């Protein structure tokens, strides 16, 4: 006969067992409802040259003629354009390449369907999310969310969004500037097969984000490293002969990568060191106030020691090169390509004209940033290569000294458009020339121009 204590223990274990079974059952029910055998959205195809050129043209067409002039701006995107931008975003963000999404539009609302694969040892399932968005006065509001056949409470969705935003704000230095752009949206209207966004163009805010493009989503933990490399640049500049006003980029690369190599020898991650080195270098070359990103003030003495950094005696080439390298290191070659190509097209339409010299510096910078951060082995190899006495011709091919750009009209007459065979051959020739440079020919690197 069991005593009361034994009976009580058995009952406790039974209740725990039943509770555990109920929890397991609940999880299984949720999985059955939420996970499905087939994706709700077909897998996205790889974007081709025409797709990338279309995205770049969208940026130019929706940008004002004078970026520094405030005013109202209306952005109109049809369903195809919106889905193209969505596909590019998913294929650019690390870890999201297997996720597919599709946006459908109708008067007053939109639906976003997302299919994310969930790979288990015995099978692959899909988390199919369907979100309804409603147009509101200052933006959009989530109307409903479903995960497969399981409706998700809006309160839970909003809570998850708030938690995500707080984590992003704590993780990235300039997240707030990007978030502040939302306040410029005056109205969002969903029409049949189109979305119309009315926004207030504030040059100061746009300029702040634009100046920080090379530090897009700068990680908070990288602040100290960027400051260290920026300080190293100042130390190198301080040792230059009195009266020096400009130096080749090569003058800075060797000591900076020697510092990075020393940090790696002490146990640091080579990719992280190279990434933060390039971010600090871009800050200095483009004369961006470092306090905008790090909260650190720069003394007047440091600014008095500033010199212009050049490639082939041109500061603009050094700016294009280092900016593209830093954007590639922090956000990827795809983002860098979109940004620099759209800028050249904008210049061709409104400003100094399309420049193949600038384009060459951009492609070389993307290649440099990709080699510096794509793999740990490649990062170390680049550090070792730059410890020797490098020359500009090792990382940047010679370009024409003609600073006159090609107007949009002249460009159309010579090349028709950027999808033409003549233009693609010109860009391919530049890419081949860069790939054959000593610094890049020793290992694999991605092609930088879509």
pLDDT band of 302, cuts 50, 70, 90: very low
407 CB-near residues (< 8 Å, 6+ apart): 348, 353, 354
Going by C-alpha positions, the residue among 359, 329, 357, 328 that lies closest to residue 343 is: 359
Written as one string, the DSSP assignment of 325-363 is: HHHHHHH-HHHHHHHHHHHHHHHHHHSS-B-HHHHHHHH
How many independent structural domains does the chain possess? 2
Q: Could you give the C-alpha distances from 309 to 284, 315, 318, 438, in angstroms and in order? A: 9, 6, 6, 22
Structural domain including 223 reads 212-435
pLDDT band of 315, cuts 50, 70, 90: very high
pLDDT band of 193, cuts 50, 70, 90: confident
- Of the chain, the end-to-end C-alpha distance in Å amounts to 80
Residues 248 and 335 in one domain: yes
Does residue 36 fall inside a structural domain? no
Residues 280 and 346 in one domain: yes
Residues 301 and 192 in one domain: no
Least confident of 91-100, 197-206, 254-263, 371-380: 197-206
Indicate the average pLDDT of the chain.
77
Mean pLDDT of the region 11-21: 56
Q: Could you give the C-alpha distances from 252 to 106, 234, 262, 324, in angstroms and in order? A: 55, 10, 16, 17
Does residue 446 fall inside a structural domain? no
Does residue 263 fall inside a structural domain? yes
**Percentage, residues of the chain above pLDDT 70:** 71
Residues 118 and 162 in one domain: yes
Residues 249 and 115 in one domain: no
Residues 78 and 157 in one domain: yes
Going by C-alpha positions, the residue among 73, 110, 103 that lies closest to residue 89 is: 103
Q: Which residue has the higher pLDDT, 148 or 266?
A: 266
pLDDT of residue 290: 63
Q: What is the pLDDT of residues 244-288, one digit of tens each?
A: 899 999 999 999 999 999 999 999 999 999 999 998 999 899 887
Residues 328 and 281 in one domain: yes
How far apart CA 77 and CA 62 sit, in angstroms, is 10
- End residue of a domain, out of 159, 179, 200: 200
Q: What is the DSSP letter of 220?
A: G
Does residue 328 fall inside a structural domain? yes
Residues 98 and 238 in one domain: no
Is the confidence at residue 446, as pLDDT, over 50?
no
pLDDT of residue 345: 64
pLDDT of residue 447: 38
Residues 251 and 177 in one domain: no
- End residue of a domain, out of 200, 220, 243: 200
pLDDT band of 317, cuts 50, 70, 90: very high
Residues 365 and 293 in one domain: yes
- End residue of a domain, out of 170, 200, 230: 200
Residues 149 and 245 in one domain: no
């Amino acid at each position: 006969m069991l005593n009361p204590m034994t009976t009580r223990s058995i009952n406790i274990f039974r209740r725990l067992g039943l509770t555990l079974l109920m929890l397991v059952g609940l999880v299984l029910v949720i999985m059955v409802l939420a996970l499905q055998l087939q994706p709700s959205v077909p897998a996205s195809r790889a974007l081709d040259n025409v797709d990338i050129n279309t995205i770049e043209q969208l940026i130019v067409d929706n940008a004002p003629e004078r970026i520094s002039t405030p005013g109202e701006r209306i952005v109109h995107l049809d369903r195809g354009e919106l889905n193209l931008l969505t596909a590019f975003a998913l294929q650019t963000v690390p870890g999201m390449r297997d996720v597919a999404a599709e946006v459908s539009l109708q008067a007053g609302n939109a639906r976003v369907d997302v299919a994310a694969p969930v790979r288990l040892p015995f099978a692959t399932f899909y988390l199919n999310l369907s979100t309804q968005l409603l147009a509101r006065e200052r933006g959009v509001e989530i109307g409903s969310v479903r995960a497969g056949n399981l409706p998700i409470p809006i309160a839970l969705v909003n809570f998850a969004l708030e938690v995500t935003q707080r984590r992003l704000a704590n993780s990235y230095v300039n997240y707030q500037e990007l978030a502040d752009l939302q306040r410029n949206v005056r109205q969002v209207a969903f029409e049949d097969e189109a979305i119309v966004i009315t926004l207030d163009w504030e040059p100061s805010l746009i300029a702040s984000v634009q100046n920080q493009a090379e530090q897009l989503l700068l990680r908070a933990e990288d602040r100290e490293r960027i400051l260290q490399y920026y300080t190293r640049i100042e130390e190198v500049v301080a040792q230059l002969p009195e009266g020096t006003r400009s130096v080749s980029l090569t003058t800075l690369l060797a000591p900076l990568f020697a510092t990075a190599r020393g940090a790696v020898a002490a146990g640091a991650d080579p990719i992280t060191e190279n990434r933060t080195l390039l971010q600090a270098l871009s800050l200095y070359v483009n004369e961006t106030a470092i306090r905008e990103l790090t909260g650190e003030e720069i003394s007047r003495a440091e600014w008095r020691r500033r010199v212009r950094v050049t490639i082939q005696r041109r500061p603009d080439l050094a700016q294009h090169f280092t900016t593209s390298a830093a954007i590639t290191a922090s956000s990827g070659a795809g983002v860098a390509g979109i940004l620099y190509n759209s800028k050249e097209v904008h210049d061709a339409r409104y400003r100094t004209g399309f420049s193949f010299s600038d384009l060459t510096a951009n492609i070389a910078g993307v290649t440099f940033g990709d080699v510096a951060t794509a793999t740990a082995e490649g990062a170390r190899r680049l550090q070792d290569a730059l410890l020797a006495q490098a020359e500009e011709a090792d990382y940047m091919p010679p370009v024409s000294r003609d600073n006159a750009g090609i107007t949009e009209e002249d460009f159309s007459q010579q090349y028709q458009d950027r999808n033409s065979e003549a233009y693609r051959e010109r860009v391919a020739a530049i890419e081949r020339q860069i790939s054959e440079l000593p610094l890049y020919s020793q290992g694999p690197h991605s092609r930088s121009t879509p």
